[in-house]
A and B are shown apart, each in its own frame.
Chain A
Amino acid sequence: MAHSDNAATIHITDEEIDHICDEFGNREGAVVQILQTIQDKYGYVPAEVLERVGEDLGIPHSKMFGVLTFYSQFYREPRGKFILKVCVGTACHVRGAGLLVDKIKENLHIEEGENTEDMMFTLEPVSCLGSCALAPMAMVNGNTYGKLSGDKMVDLLKQFREEASGAEEAEAAPAS
């Protein structure tokens, strides 16, 4: 999932939204996919964007809000650069996923569903990711990490931070 940098509030023009709705033929049936496309691109679905999509498709705002809040995949707030999806499904639960979640909370000082202050991490316990043989496991930005322990998790967090600072330096350097 190539989320754009969403550390600050994002601005999406009405034209961009209209364009995405157009691609799906402005059909009411495509509303979930339209919202998915917007979220993939911008990381979350801001309130004003939701309104505009509703206007484009001719769907009342109440219904748009209903759809957006029904599905756990959609977010109304910006999220961190790294989404820590820690599996808390049955097999992972049996093998100590709870301890992993606690370790992250302790290390990053955030609760479930929250972002770190620097918008680097979001903790998101999820139900089964289907790799139960490698329990406990987690998925971070589309990559899977199996047979985790509290210490391994802490190492991973460190690794992600280094990755992020590395990428920033690369961005800051002038293109050759």
Chain B
Amino acid sequence: MATQTVEEMAAGLFHDVAIPTIHIGMATCGLAAGARSIEELVIKELEKRGIEARIIPTGCIGMCHNEPLVDITMPGMYRVSYRNVKALIIPQIFDAHFGKGEFAKKYAVCQIPIAGHKAYEGLPLMAETGFFKGQVKIVSSRCGLIDPSSIDDYIATDGYRALRKMLTEMTPEMVIDEMTKSGLRGRGGGGFYTGLKWKLTRQSPGEEKYVVCNADEGDPGAFMDRSILEGDPHSVLEGMLAAAFAIGNSKKGYIYCRAEYPLAIKRLRKAIDDARERNFLGDNILGTGFSFDITIKEGAGAYVCGEETALLASLMGERGMPWPKPPFPAQKGVWGKPTVINNVETLGNVGHIILNGGDWYASYGSEKTKGTKTFALTGSIKNSGLIEVPAGTPLRSIVFDIGGGMLEKKIPFKAAQLGGPSGGCIPASGLDTPVDFENVIAAGAIMGSGGIVIMDEASCIVDTAKFFLKFTQDESCGECTPCRVGSKIMLEILTRITEGKGQEGDLDELIRLSMYVKSNSLCGLGAAAPNPVLSTIRYFREEFEAHIRDKHCPGTVCANLIKYVVIEEDCTTCGLCEPVCPTGSVTWDKGEVAHINLETCIRCKACVDACKFRAII
């Protein structure tokens, strides 16, 4: 594991625990699952029983499917994690721990080791559970374990040690060397070597340079950066400090964070204030003469601002439109000065690399993609959540081991969508693809920032391609014609296909347009926009053809191509379907099989949902 093992990390936090400690997962996902009311109930229950305990809100440990999560650490014992905690089970958990000195077996997921503490019998360790077994946590190692609003928790888990080491024992060149050795590549999706980027910015002449953290995570289905910002904000600050030290002449940094992440912004503000107070930020840091400070800039809702030049334009108060490169930000960035821009996850790795060395980091991962990568695993999968695995882990093991397989056991895997609107779909035949930069590109998708959306056979590939294209078309900034007009025409063709008006030759036209938009767009948004279309045609051509020729949607998603019918043998003539139809298209008489009038049916699916016998398809 990372700089410290989970065990050591927990030991750092618990060396003086004399009273019971209760951790509650309070990242955005936890809160959405009701963590706030769980916290209130826990407080009430403690008061009722007259128990003194410490309550610590923590970030996301990755098991989003198990939220709300509550962990209980009794003095001298390992930390026990409880999942899907509801009001009714809190008293049972408390009875077990505070009454009998046991744990509530029925609701516990796993236990987290703490050095010098004792394990409970009959409960797997965190690292032994299916979800965590294949994972290696470096950048997300603190998420869910520490209190993200406490700088002391960060320091107790090796935080700011890299900063001290760098400022007192290393030269900027040595820092760049370690980064180069680590092989770390930009985790926002670009995959540019971080060491090289820092070196180029260092070589760029200028008395004033800037460090920018790209926290404008906009890919739908991706929330890795949010989890890091909410769960371990100081690690990002420490990474920025290292970048500033390495490039030289940099006194100021910006974090450009999307406004849709209010909690992340709140945690960052607190982290910056606390770091200033301890002199990890500000003038003459730790008395070494090095000065650096950070300002947060909130985005205003434009996906294209994740592109680095568009981000810089937005940062300077302009419309967020990209500019042609060169000049690269390393030459001319914020206010025309040399600027290094790194993604949240990239920066979060930096402290670990400086402390443990580049070789240590490079010992994880595949040949060309070193280290680990976090992924947001979502869609029709059992264990959705945030995971971190060594680069090169096969897609199959991500989906079926860590992910626990499909959400609905009976509906098989159809495709994994990787890389969001710039990525593509990998079908079942590509499940053995090692997930790293090169192999995923060869399979027709991109690793991108790390969103993996799992689709089952009940989803429609054409609809998915249309969904992504609609997204990029909406978010196209309009500056260059290939992206602005090309994506619009492509979307029109796809929409036509999903409405049952597809024509012969549509697919060839889509491919031709895709190639044109790809090679002629100004920035990455346009250049990657056709990827979802190309990869789906490559692997699922028959499904497109079924839509075009047979006017049939195999996934029964495209409303215009669905024809609902009542299966006479299965209909129990109960009549439940009749009253729910908003258009009166379902007719039924007592004792008779129901009938659907397709002329007036609006395909709202209400009758399908109402039927308890699956007699309407």
Contact = CB atoms under 8 A, between A and B. Distances in A.
A155 B319 CA distance: 39
Contacts of B379: 90-91, 94-95, 132
B444 to A, nearest CB: 17
Contacts of A129: 28, 260
Contact of B223 (A72, A102, A127, A132): A132
Contacts of B64: 131-134
Given A127-B303, A133-B378, A146 B219 contact: no
A102 B559 CA distance: 14
Contact of B380 (A1, A29, A36, A94): A94
Interface string B174-193: 00000000000000000000
Contacts of B420: 90
Contacts of B218: 127-128
Given A31-B317, A129-B260, 6 more contacts: A29-B335, A72-B301, A91-B384, A128-B221, A132-B378, A133-B384
Contact of A70 (B226, B302, B385): B302
A133 B29 contact: yes
Most A Cβ at <10 Å: residue of B220, B297, B417, B475:
B220
Interface stretch (B9-17, B95-103, B322-330, B451-459): B451-459
B300 interface: yes
5 contacts: A29-B315, A33-B297, A94-B379, A128-B223, A135-B378
Given A72-B302, A128-B222, A131-B29, A94 B317 contact: no
B467 interface: yes
A34 B331 CA distance: 29
Interface string A131-149: 1111101010011111100
Contact of B298 (A36, A131, A139, A145): A36
B214 to A, nearest CB: 15
A28 interface: yes
B31 interface: yes
Contact of B384 (A27, A90, A132): A132
Most B Cβ at <10 Å: residue of A67, A74, A90, A137:
A90
Contact of A130 (B65, B223, B314, B467): B223
A148 B321 CA distance: 35
B453 A29 contact: no
Contact of A91 (B226, B453, B475): B453
A99 B28 CA distance: 23
A28 B220 contact: no
A12 to B, nearest CB: 19
B217 interface: yes
B316 interface: yes
Contact of A36 (B32, B300, B475): B300
Contacts of A174: none
B32 A70 contact: no
B120 interface: no
B451 A134 contact: no
A128 B319 contact: no
A73 interface: yes
Contacts of A94: 379-380, 453, 455, 459
A99 B609 CA distance: 12
Given A70-B320, A90-B220, A133 B380 contact: no
Given A90-B420, A130-B217, A133-B384, A67 B317 contact: yes
| Interface band, chain B | 35 or more
B259 interface: yes
B319 A70 contact: yes
B220 A128 contact: yes
A69 B577 CA distance: 46
Interface in B177-219: 217-219
A30 B317 contact: yes
B529 interface: no
Interface in A36-95: 36, 66-67, 70-74, 89-91, 93-95
B293 to A, nearest CB: 16
Interface string B15-57: 0000000000000110111000000000000000000000000
A131 B28 contact: yes
B217 A28 contact: no
A7 interface: no
A154 B451 CA distance: 30
A134 to B, nearest CB: 5
Given A73-B259, A90-B221, A128-B220, A137 B32 contact: yes
Which 6 A-B pairs have CB atoms at the shortest separation, nearest pair first? A133-B64, A89-B220, A73-B301, A130-B223, A71-B300, A144-B32
A32 B471 contact: no
Given A74-B300, A134-B29, A93 B222 contact: no
Contact of B221 (A29, A132, A142, A143): A132
Given A91-B221, A131-B28, A29 B316 contact: yes
Contact of A146 (B32, B217, B453, B471): B32
Interface in B234-265: 259-262
Nearest to A70: B319
A99 B582 CA distance: 14
B67 interface: yes
A130 B320 CA distance: 22
Contacts of B451: 90
B376 interface: yes
A126 interface: yes
A134 B378 CA distance: 9
B262 A142 contact: yes
A103 to B, nearest CB: 10
Given A36-B300, A71-B301, A73-B259, A91 B220 contact: yes
B477 interface: yes
Interface string B472-483: 000101000000
Contacts of A91: 220-221, 378-379, 384, 453
Nearest to B64: A133
B471 A127 contact: yes
B318 interface: yes
B31 A126 contact: no
Nearest to B303: A127
Interface string B457-468: 001000000011
A152 B486 CA distance: 39
B28 A144 contact: yes
Contact of A93 (B217, B301, B467): B467
Contacts of B226: 130
B309 to A, nearest CB: 15
A30 B254 CA distance: 13
